[in-house]
Chains A and B, each alone.
Chain A
């Protein structure tokens, strides 16, 4: 079983919808949580970075972490066709300097 589980999708939503992306993890040592967006054949682009339970908002994006349930989420409000990409959750252990462990990525398509 992978340390980080993520539904691969694909997830298709209409423009303007609220998108919910989720990951669960099993390693309680993970303390730092990231969401990356990856367009086809491009490098992962950091969207959100958080290290505490609760919500963190940045524009249309909200990252939510529940360490007690080992569950993290990314919400995208007012989704746009340009949001169509693969979204990868990633996390690492305390100290922040260690290797990232990724989820498999969720492929999102926002349709007009």
Chain B
């Protein structure tokens, strides 16, 4: 079965640079979630989109922005990167069923030097 696809899988950036992470949800899933997982920590919710509209917002820094496109893929844009942004970034997608749940992608490991 098709899963959530994330790219790139690994990304190395310098401080103050920008990064763009991409997420391709499971086909026919209309909701996308972004989570950040620091070393040894649980995933923390950043932001979500439903039908291309922002549906919920968590602890996402103002330096980050995201959007969902007409084909339902999503991009997380990160600017003025800081050392503390180094983490695993997961995307999850969810189908339209009321009781459906979230399926996670493999993640993008971002390292800020």
Contacts and interface: CB of A to CB of B under 8 A. Distances in A.
A49 B109 contact: no
Interface of A: 32, 34, 36, 41-46, 49, 51, 88, 95-105
Given A96-B99, A104-B41, 6 more contacts: A34-B101, A41-B88, A43-B90, A43-B105, A97-B94, A98-B56
A101 B33 CA distance: 12
9 contacts: A32-B99, A41-B88, A43-B107, A44-B90, A49-B101, A95-B98, A96-B97, A96-B99, A96-B101
Interface of A (DSSP majority class)? loop
A34 B53 CA distance: 25
A46 B45 contact: no
B62 interface: no
